[in-house]
Amino acid sequence: MLSRPLRNRVTPAGDLISTEHRGTMYGNRGVLHNDDLVIVRRHQVRRWLVCVLEFRGRRRQIMRPRHFTELFFHDEAVALAAGHRPCAECRYAEYQMFRAAWTDGLGLSRRPSADEMDSVLHRQRGVVDGVRVTHPASWDALPDGVFVLRDGDYWLLYDRVLRRWTPAGYDAPRELFDGPADVLTPLSTVAAIKAGYHPVCGPFDGPVSSL
């Protein structure tokens, strides 16, 4: 029995933290831990997925040695901000909707492959000197479901108000900040959301139960 939570909860910036709050969705980005369950890398592969917690009755031992590291998100909006995308197996319908919205949002002539999207996302979720890359935008150019950074905190734009993310859930809503937004959600994902992809957001009425 572990004496403390594993470091496998994902922040909107894509960082991994330890917390007792497990979240409502999970995913992976390769083998990130060693045999002592210590996280030793930020990612192993470019394919960063967000999945459902239950699929076809499958059971996994969390963080088995030399197997991919199970990661947990408060919701899909957090996962997308971190740079993940819908899994093509357990979330096939959402994956196809994401591809279609990506195509429309970026004005492409055909739907991209998973590898093509992963390559773009890998560039757009980069870290420079240990700090996650962001991009500026005006508030009226942003759709609900994206995250912005402000004074070291992560804020979800939803119903045209902001909610501060914490490991336990979201704080009460507040009005939009003055000036342009400093956006965490990758540019291509923002375009897909604007084109009609609706990420799962919330719950908003209290902390998420531990799993």
pLDDT tops 80 at residue 35: yes
pLDDT at res. 31: 96
Per-residue burial over 105-138, b if 16 or more Cβ lie within 10 Å, else e, is: beeeeeebeeeebbebbbebbeeeeeebebeebe
The two beta strands, 49-51 and 85-86, are parallel
User: Which burial class, exposed, middle or buried, applies to 140 when counting CB atoms under 10 A from its CB (0-12, 13-18, 19+)?
Assistant: exposed
Count how many Cα atoms sit within 13 Å of the Cα of residue 44 in the half-sphere of its side chain. 14
pLDDT at res. 206: 47
pLDDT at res. 133: 94
Its sign, for the CA torsion 179, 160, 138, 47, is: positive
pLDDT at res. 2: 58
pLDDT tops 70 at residue 8: yes
Q: Nearest to residue 71, comparing CAs of 41, 99, 96?
A: 41
pLDDT at res. 3: 63
Identify the residue whose tokens are 């995913």: 27
For residues 179 and 122, give the distance between their C-alpha atoms in angstroms, rounded to a whole number: 28
Contact assessment for residue 61 and residue 112, using Cβ atoms and an 8 Å cutoff: no
Identify the residue whose tokens are 């909107």: 12
Q: How would residue 192 be classed by pLDDT, with cut points 50, 70 and 90? A: very high
Q: How many CB atoms lie within 10 A of CB 26?
A: 25
Check residue 145 and report its DSSP letter: T
Tokens, residue 14: 């894509």
Average pLDDT over residues 176-200: 97
Average pLDDT over residues 62-78: 92
pLDDT at res. 204: 82
pLDDT at res. 208: 40
Per-residue pLDDT tens over the stretch 111-158: 999 999 999 999 999 999 888 999 999 999 999 999 999 999 999 999
Mean pLDDT of the chain: 92
Contact assessment for residue 174 and residue 161, using Cβ atoms and an 8 Å cutoff: yes
For residues 160 and 162, give the distance between their C-alpha atoms in angstroms, rounded to a whole number: 7
Percent of the chain with pLDDT over 70: 95
Contacts of 23 (CB under 8 A, 6+ apart): 9, 72, 73, 74, 75, 78, 208, 211
Average pLDDT over residues 78-103: 98
More confident residue, 206 or 164: 164
Per the DSSP assignment, residues forming a β-bridge with 86 are 50
Percent of the chain with pLDDT over 90: 82
pLDDT at res. 59: 78
